[in-house]
């Protein structure tokens, strides 16, 4: 009997239990709608229920004041990786992360370090690429 392989992607820790929307300062040239992410030309970002993301990246703690920012940041970076928005929006996406973390109670100095980390080390995460698909067994 031949065993049918599954195909999957790794790297996700969290899955959104209900939809979320926020106004961001990223303005695409056309309306974008994927299965899980919608971004209007006016900067309204909608992330649909079921969206999966890896939470805060790097040597950090997944604290409550980091989760919403990491969600929005990851969604914007995913749009960049998919070529749906220009990488010129990367700095603004990084600023959105910092802003949201501060709104959620993160100390400003920690939020600044978070911003510096994504500015200095996050470029490869925004670059257009094809996510590797794994197989098992």
**Tens of pLDDT along 53-107?**
988 887 788 899 999 999 999 999 999 999 999 999 999 999 999 999 999 999 9
Residue 36 within a domain? yes
Residue 101 within a domain? yes
Q: How many domains does the chain have?
A: 1
Task: Compute how many other C-beta atoms are within 10 angstroms of the C-beta atom of residue 71.
Answer: 22
As a whole number of angstroms, the distance between CA 123 and CA 121 comes to 6
As a whole number of angstroms, the distance between CA 42 and CA 127 comes to 24
What pLDDT was estimated at residue 128? 66
Task: Tell me the pTM.
Answer: 0.85
What pLDDT was estimated at residue 135? 75
Q: What residues make up the domain containing 33?
A: 8-131
Residue 114 within a domain? yes
């Amino acid at each position: 009997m031949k065993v049918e392989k599954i195909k999957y992607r790794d790297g996700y820790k969290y899955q959104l239990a209900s939809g979320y929307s926020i106004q961001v300062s990223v303005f695409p040239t056309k309306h974008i709608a994927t299965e899980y992410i919608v971004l209007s030309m006016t900067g309204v970002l909608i992330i649909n229920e079921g969206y999966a993301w890896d939470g805060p990246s790097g040597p950090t703690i997944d604290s409550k004041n980091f989760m919403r920012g990491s969600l929005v940041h990851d969604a914007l970076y995913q749009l960049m990786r998919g070529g749906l928005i220009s990488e010129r929006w990367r700095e603004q996406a990084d600023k959105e992360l910092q802003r949201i973390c501060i709104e959620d109670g993160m100390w400003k100095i920690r939020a600044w370090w978070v911003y510096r980390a994504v500015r200095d080390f996050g470029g490869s995460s925004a670059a257009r690429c094809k996510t590797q698909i794994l197989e098992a067994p």
